Chains A and B, each alone.
Chain A
Amino acid sequence: MRSNDVIDGLVKDLRPVSVTRSPFTLTLIWLVLSLASAAIVILTLFRIRPDMSSLVSHPTFLILLASLIGAWMSSAYLTFVLSLPGRASSGLLRVLPYLFLAVAMMALGWELSDFSATGWAIAGAKCSAVIVVVSLAPLLLLLGMIRKLAPLGLGRTSRALLIAATALGAFGICLHCNSQEAIHLLVYHVVPIVLMIGLGSLLTRRWLRW
């Protein structure tokens, strides 16, 4: 088929289209919907820890929560910017989600001196499973939204997308899990994010191809 024929076909197929919203608006929509879905899962399947008010006095825990929120928001925005052709993403935006994750890991690493054997307990793996459960709906929603756009750097977009979903999952588990031990938070709340980004990006790259 020649290009002329293709052009004829495309012109014939032309329908008016609604222009995609800006990355900022798309990010806001996803943040609201993902938060709602995570809240529903946490409140119906699990429970919020009863000592939430006392956690204000625990700086490491607050840093962890703030870092996860930062990673969730910045990576969601980055995902949409990377999925709209011709949009310039600043160097800072591209590294911001990773910086937030690094801050979370460093804050927990700082506290690792109070090592305890119980923190390693394999029972903590349940927390990692909860992260997957909480992240699932936001991840599928974000994948669906991105597939309608035109993601360009598939690797970068996949990683940003997975950080956005799993950071929210990790935030959710922090509100449910009673453990305060740094080793537990690091191994079962933060490291799973890194693993899921690594493994998940292999799959999502394929789903994002267009």
Chain B
Amino acid sequence: MVAVNKLSSQEESLARAMRDAQAGDATAYRELLEAVRVLMKAYIARILGRMGKSGGGTEDDLVQEVLLAIHQKRHTYDSRELFLPWLFAIARYKAIDFGRREKRKGVSIELSELEEVLSSPVFTENSTSSDLEVLISSLPAKSKGLLQMVKLEGLSIAEAAAKTQMSESAVKVTIHRAMKLLRKNLRKEKM
């Protein structure tokens, strides 16, 4: 439940910062972009890792592209809507665009892997944080905490293991099982 509450408060604080930024508040905007940078770093590192394109400054380039896109399109965020689905929809677009550009350059990318990451329940453009809350709340407490740390906050397996005093392999197995359960629950919801 801690992870779910954390996600809700993150949604609220980011949405508030965005509202203030749209009104011209530079301090709120800086806070927003800093928070988005952290979120995007984890998200993009995962995508690039699947593409086999980690390192070489690519992550930072793509994070910067997302930040620029947020700046250019900030007027399209409606404060009556949730902020995180808006943010991840933009990040998803930029990641797909990057994948296409790389493909045109002849760089081999496992598009099926990319699709899998982008269509995972956490990051679909149509999913809302309340959908996510319901899904995550169905998980056992230990899985919820680890999922929050690794998939949402971007901690490495080793960092999460040290924080929870578990072995790295136990963390991996728990997360794997949690993701499997999430997928299963999502399929059930769709039926």
Q: Check A6 against B78 for contact (C-beta < 8 Å).
A: no
With a CB–CB cut-off of 8 A, which chain A residues contact B116?
none
Nearest CB of A to B87, in Å: 8
Q: State whether the Cβ of A7 lies closer than 8 Å to any Cβ in chain B.
A: yes
Main secondary structure of the interface of B (DSSP, over half): helix
* CB neighbours of A22 from chain B (8 A): 78
- A85-B26 in contact (CB<8A): no
Q: Which residues of A contact B22 (CB under 8 A)?
A: 16-17, 19
Q: Convert A171-199 into 0s and 1s, putting 1 for each residue whose CB lies closer than 8 angstroms to a CB of B.
A: 00000000000000000000000000000
Give A164 to B76 CA distance when docked, in angstroms: 22
Question: Bound state CA distance, A13 and B33, in angstroms?
Answer: 13
Among A3, A15, A209, contact of B64 (Cβ-Cβ < 8 Å): A3
- How far is it, in angstroms, between the C-alpha of A2 and the C-alpha of B37 when the chains are bound? 11
Is A117 engaged at the interface, CB distance under 8 Å to the other chain?
A: no
The answer to whether A133 has its CB under 8 Å from any CB of chain B is no
Q: Collect the chain A residues with CB atoms within 8 Å of residue B155's CB.
A: none
Contacts of B63 in A (CB 8 A): 3
Bound Cα distance from A1 to B65, whole angstroms: 12
**CA distance in complex: A1, B57 (Å):** 10
Kindly identify which residue among A10, A19, A89, A209 contacts B68, using a CB–CB cutoff of 8 Å. Answer: A10
Measured in the bound complex, the distance between the Cα atoms of B97 and A20 in whole Å is: 24
Chain B residues closer than 8 Å to A13, beta-carbon distance: 71
Q: A86-B89, A152-B93 given as contacts; is B29 within 8 A of A11 (CB)?
A: yes
- Binary interface encoding of chain A residues 195-210 relative to chain B, with 1 for a CB under 8 A from any of its CBs, else 0: 0000000000000011
Q: List 21 A-B contacts (CB under 8 A).
A: A1-B64, A6-B68, A7-B37, A10-B29, A11-B33, A14-B21, A17-B75, A19-B77, A19-B78, A20-B78, A85-B77, A85-B90, A86-B82, A86-B85, A86-B87, A86-B89, A87-B81, A149-B76, A150-B73, A150-B90, A152-B125
Q: Apart from A3-B63, A7-B30, A84-B76, what 12 extra A-B contacts exist at CB < 8 Å?
A: A2-B60, A14-B24, A14-B29, A17-B22, A17-B74, A19-B78, A19-B79, A86-B83, A88-B125, A150-B76, A152-B89, A152-B93
